[in-house]
Amino acid sequence: MNFLYYLLPKEKVAYINDDSTLRQAMEKMEHHRYTAVPIINEEGKYVGVLREGDILWYIKNLNAFDLQVAEQININKVPRVKDHKSITVSANLKELINLAIDQNFIPVVDDTNTFIGIVTRRAIITEHFKNNGKSV
């Protein structure tokens, strides 16, 4: 089966733009209750993933922090410890599953690195058990 069957399209994904402020990113993550969100630039290209841990370590290293400070900080200033690797639409299911071992979602890009959506680990596992008629 083609892994695009599992794709959650960009218009249904909570993501942030690379020109967002730290406060905007924090509010979007809080609203959706996500611990990580993809970062997309103004051309729609996949940049990376901002995680709660990246934000927490950044805040820890500031001498002072409040929401007014967060409004002044661009998310590009927040060091990202580990980005989620993306896959292209031409990748195979094995590549997708290998990434899902270490990532709770896999960003999917087209051949020009334009972000088109994500595949979640949950979707892969759910579909596997549904198709194999087995449960845990």
**Could you report the per-residue pLDDT of 21-71, keeping only the tens digit for each?**
999 999 999 999 999 999 999 999 999 999 999 999 999 888 777 888 889
Tell me the backbone φ, ψ of residue 114, rounded to 5 degrees: -80, 130
Instruction: Determine how many CB atoms are found less than 10 A away from the CB of residue 78.
Output: 17
pLDDT of residue 92: 86
pLDDT band at 77 (very low <50, low <70, confident <90, very high): very high
Structure tokens at 95: 């590549």
The helix or strand, by DSSP H or E, that contains position 68, with its residue range, turns out to be: helix 67-70
Q: Where are the domains of the chain?
A: 3-132
**Could you report the per-residue pLDDT of 92-132, keeping only the tens digit for each?**
888 988 999 999 999 999 999 999 999 998 888 887 777 77
Q: CA-to-CA distance for 20 and 97, rounded, in angstroms?
A: 31
Q: CA-to-CA distance for 29 and 27, rounded, in angstroms?
A: 5
The helix or strand, by DSSP H or E, that contains position 94, with its residue range, turns out to be: helix 93-100
CATH number for region 3-132: 3.10.580.10
